[in-house]
């Protein structure tokens, strides 16, 4: 039990580190890779919590599809010069320098709040049949997510394709 | 039948993206315009009982968990009307061809998203469609790709992302307590929950999320920049329906249908509403840019809607819904007039304008009507909704808030008259001597919206109110 808890905590720390690297890294490509890495670590955590469907979605959509979209979009943009990158890096460091301290304060603060965690969660029907959940129960959300993806595609066309032509 | 409101714009969009691109580019404007007009007319007829919105059967594949009531119909009507106006305004600002095709496509996606918000009966579905509208709004704001537009969109993205985090966290907490997402199930679970502090935290996070999306003070930082930097048709769309759907309508829907009225919620809504009313009105007085002034005025008017909702009586909710509709109409009208002025004079700086009512009589008169309506002058539509808000506040013994609402209304009259005087009254400067009335499409938009403002004010205040309460 204790080993499991320690392992989960260790994965959580790596997750935060990967997230910070994603935000702080100099290059956009590395940032996209960092995001994919963060998703993979989150997948691992979800796998350990026996959330199978979340694991599959996180790995395929967030680590896979989203990274591909990011990298395709980045390839359409003009890269910054080295001096510009350094300038942005300094500004970013100045902006995020207090972040670890803030996380620490919030964490300590939250540890004092006593929350009754005795929830009676419904048995997930996902375990029985994910298709039923997605196509019969959450069909409107699926449609909404299709619309979000379509909007993203038009966004890339509007904001990047025309720029590249110029 | 209801699912058609969401699926039709998407199917139309897919057809438009089929081969024969040059043909599609030619018809896209008419198709978008027709779709919005058909929705506005169908919903208006349904509101007044000419047909039953449920009467047409659909395939089981298209039977989503959606529903409609008078509040949803009001948003559907506003959406149809404002998108129709936005399309017409875009004719003068977005060049024909690829650009207009992309603009219309994005607008159709957002149109479907707003319809989804109106019809959703599940907190997660509501969240998904809020994101649809938010994402399309970011792209629409920076559609012209100038520096200011990118800055406005960026501010909106950052604050909107924070709102998203708040909402998602709240949804997760609510799911822990309720085990379901439908409005009815969540309402029942929250009423009987033993996890009081957790529920309160979830409600607080949701309210903060909606306040950011609606631009309520102190979360209004993005609104003025986004409205001002966007191109004219996008400003009309943002002020007319987009911000209202993702922030104000969603707030009314969740508070009325899911959270219910509880003393802490009422207090927060009343305070945030009153703060927005006052701060928005005072900030408006200091602006010199026409569109920026309208943006700050929006913050103040959204404050009125939140204030009315906080009263937590049927009259208060009806007043909030009525002002929601009125604000969509007169604010769209003022942004249409701002667009007309921008094209005619090439500037939005009010200090450089003056006496334009002589050169642009239709724009001048419709602008005066909108200004008087927003200030609550009888018998225009804005008068009735503000009167209802003040009566609802007074009858529920919120005397201080009633006084604030009444005094802020005088302030509104002050800044709106200032706007009229600076732009339309007085003598015409030499540099404006050759200015002519705006293009026909802009004039039509102004006349339609002015007619709605006058028509609703003169003919329908009591009937509309009864419909909203029902």
Mean pLDDT in consecutive groups of 10 residues from the start of chain A, 166 residues? 82 89 80 88 88 80 75 73 77 75 83 67 58 74 86 82 59
> Which residue does chain B place closest to A113, by CA atoms?
B197
CB contact (8 A) between residue A159 and residue B145? yes
Nearest CA to CA, how far is B104 from chain A (Å)?
A: 11
Show residues of chain A in contact with B113, CB under 8 Å: 144, 147
pLDDT in tens, B273-328: 999 999 999 999 888 898 999 999 999 999 999 999 999 999 999 999 999 999 99
**B 141-180 → A contacts, CB under 8 A:** 142-143, 145, 176-177, 179-180
Inform me whether the C-beta atom of residue A115 falls under 8 Å from chain B C-beta atoms.
yes
**What would the DSSP string read from start to end of B246-301?**
IIIIHHHHIIIIII---HHHHHHHHHHHHHHHHHHHHHHHT--BHHHHHHHHHHHH
* Minimum-distance CB partner of A154 among B105, B122, B176: B105
Q: Which of B190, B208, B183, B404 is nearest to B308 (CA)?
A: B404
- Mean pLDDT in residue range B156-179: 90
In chain A the beta strands, taken as DSSP E runs, fall at none
| Residue B4: pLDDT over 90 | no
CA-CA distance, B78 to B81, in Å (whole number)? Answer: 5
Q: Which of B77, B40, B84 is nearest to B468 (CA)?
A: B77
Cα radius of gyration rounded to whole Å, chain B: 21
Q: Greater confidence, B17 or B465?
A: B17
Q: Phi and psi dihedrals of B248, rounded to 5? A: -75, -50
Q: How many CB pairs under 8 A join A and B?
A: 84
pLDDT in tens, B54-109: 555 555 666 677 888 889 999 999 999 999 999 999 999 988 888 889 899 999 99
The mean pLDDT value of chain B amounts to 88
Show residues of chain A in contact with B65, CB under 8 Å: 140
CB contact (8 A) between residue A119 and residue B124? no
pLDDT in tens, B356-408: 888 889 999 999 999 999 988 888 989 999 999 999 999 999 999 999 999 99
CB contact (8 A) between residue A116 and residue B195? yes
Give the torsion through C-alpha atoms of B340, B341, B345, B351, to 10 deg. -170
- Looking at residue B298, its pLDDT comes to 94
CB contact (8 A) between residue A140 and residue B116? yes
| Residue B249: pLDDT over 90 | yes
Nearest CA to CA, how far is B462 from chain A (Å)?
A: 36
Q: Is the ipTM of this complex over 0.85?
A: no
- Looking at residue B468, its pLDDT comes to 56
Inform me whether the C-beta atom of residue A116 falls under 8 Å from chain B C-beta atoms.
yes
* pTM for the predicted model, two decimal places: 0.88
* Minimum-distance CB partner of B116 among A115, A144, A152: A144
Contacts 24+ apart (CB under 8 A), B164-168: B164/B131, B164/B134, B164/B209, B166/B205, B166/B206, B166/B208, B166/B209, B166/B212, B167/B127, B167/B130, B167/B205, B167/B206, B167/B209, B167/B210, B168/B127
Show residues of chain A in contact with B112, CB under 8 Å: 147
* Minimum-distance CB partner of A154 among B109, B128, B198: B109
- Looking at residue B356, its pLDDT comes to 86
- Looking at residue B268, its pLDDT comes to 92
- Looking at residue A57, its pLDDT comes to 79
**What would the DSSP string read from start to end of B402-413?**
HHHHHHHHHHHH
**Beta bridge partners of residue B289, listed in sequence order:** B349
Show residues of chain A in contact with B122, CB under 8 Å: 140
- Interface-testing mutation among A125, A143, A149, A156, with chain B (most B C-beta atoms within 10 A): A143
CA-CA distance, B205 to B207, in Å (whole number)? Answer: 5
> Which residue does chain A place closest to B134, by CA atoms?
A148
Minimum mean pLDDT range among B17-21, B192-196, B389-393: B192-196
> Which residue does chain A place closest to B110, by CA atoms?
A151
Show residues of chain A in contact with B135, CB under 8 Å: 148, 151-152, 155
CB contact (8 A) between residue B132 and residue A138? no
CB contact (8 A) between residue A151 and residue B177? no
CB contact (8 A) between residue A151 and residue B132? yes
- Looking at residue B131, its pLDDT comes to 92
- Interface-testing mutation among A150, A152, A153, A161, with chain B (most B C-beta atoms within 10 A): A150
- Looking at residue B22, its pLDDT comes to 80
H runs (alpha helix) in B311-433: 314-345, 356-359, 361-375, 381-395, 399-423
Q: Which of A66, A32, A59, A31 is nearest to A152 (CA)?
A: A66
Q: Which of B449, B412, B468 is nearest to B280 (CA)?
A: B412
Q: Are A144 and B132 in contact (CB under 8 A)?
A: yes
CA-CA distance, A124 to B114, in Å (whole number)? Answer: 30
- Interface-testing mutation among A66, A133, A151, A159, with chain B (most B C-beta atoms within 10 A): A151
Show residues of chain B in contact with A162, CB under 8 Å: 98, 145
Show residues of chain A in contact with B66, CB under 8 Å: 140
State both tokens at B13. Answer: 């969009």
CA-CA distance, B426 to B358, in Å (whole number)? Answer: 9
Q: Greater confidence, B428 or B227?
A: B227
- Mean pLDDT in residue range B99-127: 92
- Looking at residue B81, its pLDDT comes to 95
CA-CA distance, B178 to B192, in Å (whole number)? Answer: 10
- Mean pLDDT in residue range B214-229: 89
**A 74-113 → B contacts, CB under 8 A:** 113
Nearest CA to CA, how far is A7 from chain B (Å)?
A: 24
CB contact (8 A) between residue B139 and residue A163? no
- Mean pLDDT in residue range B14-39: 87
Inform me whether the C-beta atom of residue A149 falls under 8 Å from chain B C-beta atoms.
no
Share of chain B above pLDDT 90, in %: 54
CB contact (8 A) between residue A144 and residue B125? yes
> Which residue does chain B place closest to A150, by CA atoms?
B109
- Looking at residue A165, its pLDDT comes to 56
Nearest CA to CA, how far is B107 from chain A (Å)?
A: 10
Show residues of chain B in contact with A138, CB under 8 Å: 124
- Looking at residue A121, its pLDDT comes to 60
In Å, what is the CA distance from A5 to each residue of A9, A19, B327, B412? 6, 21, 54, 59
Which pLDDT band, with edges at 50, 70 and 90, does B49 fall under? Answer: low
User: How far is it between the farthest Cα atoms of chain A?
Assistant: 60
Q: Residue A53: count other Cβ atoms within 10 Å of its Cβ.
A: 14
Show residues of chain A in contact with B110, CB under 8 Å: 151
Inform me whether the C-beta atom of residue B13 falls under 8 Å from chain A C-beta atoms.
yes
Nearest CA to CA, how far is A138 from chain B (Å)?
A: 8
State both tokens at B180. Answer: 């379901």
**B 60-119 → A contacts, CB under 8 A:** 64-66, 98, 102, 105-106, 109-110, 112-113, 116
């Amino acid at each position: 039990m204790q080993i499991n808890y320690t392992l989960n905590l260790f994965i959580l720390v790596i997750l935060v580190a990967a997230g910070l690297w994603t935000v702080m890294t100099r290059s956009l490509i590395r940032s996209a890779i960092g995001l994919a890495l963060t998703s993979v670590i989150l997948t691992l955590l979800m796998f350990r919590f026996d959330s199978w469907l979340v694991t599959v979605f996180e790995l395929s959509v967030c680590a896979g599809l989203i990274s591909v979209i990011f990298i395709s979009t980045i390839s359409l943009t003009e890269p910054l010069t080295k001096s510009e990158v350094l300038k942005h890096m300094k500004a970013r460091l100045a902006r995020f320098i207090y972040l670890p301290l803030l996380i620490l304060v919030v964490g300590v603060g939250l540890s004092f709040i006593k929350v009754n965690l005795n929830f009676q969660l419904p048995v997930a029907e996902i375990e029985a049949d994910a298709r039923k959940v997605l196509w019969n129960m959450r069909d409107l959300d699926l449609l909404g997510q299709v619309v979000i993806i379509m909007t993203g595609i038009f966004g890339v066309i509007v904001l990047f394709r025309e720029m590249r032509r110029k | 039948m209801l699912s058609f409101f969401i699926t039709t714009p998407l199917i139309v969009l897919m057809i438009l993206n089929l081969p024969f691109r040059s043909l599609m580019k030619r018809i896209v404007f008419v198709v978008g315009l027709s779709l919005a007009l058909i929705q506005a007319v169908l919903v208006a007829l349904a509101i007044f009982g000419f047909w039953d919105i449920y009467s047409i059967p659909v395939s089981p594949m298209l039977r989503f968990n959606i529903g409609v009531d008078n509040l949803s119909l009001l948003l559907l009507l506003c959406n149809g009307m404002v998108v129709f106006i936005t399309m017409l305004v875009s004719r003068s600002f977005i060049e024909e061809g690829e650009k207009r095709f992309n603009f219309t496509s994005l607008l159709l996606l957002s149109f479907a998203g707003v319809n989804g918000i109106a019809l959703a009966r599940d907190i997660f579905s509501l969240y998904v469609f809020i994101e649809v509208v938010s994402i399309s709004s970011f792209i629409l704001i920076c559609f012209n790709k100038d520096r200011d537009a990118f800055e406005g969109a960026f501010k909106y993205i950052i604050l909107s992302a924070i709102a998203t985090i708040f909402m998602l966290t709240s949804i997760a907490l609510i799911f822990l307590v309720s085990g379901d997402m439908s409005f009815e199930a969540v309402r029942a679970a929250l009423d009987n929950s033993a996890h009081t502090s957790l529920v309160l935290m979830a409600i607080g996070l949701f309210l903060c999320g909606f306040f950011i999306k609606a631009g309520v003070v102190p979360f209004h930082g993005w609104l003025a920049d986004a409205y001002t930097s966007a191109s004219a048709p996008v400003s009309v769309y943002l002020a007319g329906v987009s911000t209202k759907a993702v922030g104000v309508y969603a707030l009314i829907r969740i508070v009325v249908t899911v959270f219910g009225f509880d003393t802490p919620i009422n207090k927060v809504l009343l305070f945030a509403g009153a703060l927005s009313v006052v701060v928005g009105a005072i900030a408006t007085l200091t602006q010199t840019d026409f569109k920026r002034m309208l943006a700050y005025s929006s913050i103040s008017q959204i404050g009125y809607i939140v204030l009315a909702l906080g009263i937590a009586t049927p009259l208060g909710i009806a007043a909030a819904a009525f002002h929601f509709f009125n604000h969509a109409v007169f604010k769209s009208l003022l942004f249409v007039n701002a667009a007309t002025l921008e094209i005619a004079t090439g500037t939005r700086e009010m200090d450089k304008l003056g006496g334009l009512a002589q050169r642009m009589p239709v724009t001048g008169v419709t602008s005066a009507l909108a200004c008087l309506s927003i200030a609550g002058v009888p018998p225009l539509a804005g008068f009735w909704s503000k009167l209802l808000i003040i009566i609802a506040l007074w009858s529920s013994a919120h005397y201080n808030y009633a006084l604030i609402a009444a005094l802020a209304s005088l302030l509104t009259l002050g800044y709106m008259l200032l706007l009229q005087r600076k732009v339309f009254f007085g003598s015409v400067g030499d540099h404006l001597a050759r200015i002519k009335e705006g293009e026909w499409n802009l004039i039509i938009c102004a006349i339609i919206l002015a007619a709605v403002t006058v028509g609703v004010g003169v003919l329908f205040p009591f009937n509309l109110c009864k419909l909203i309460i029902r």
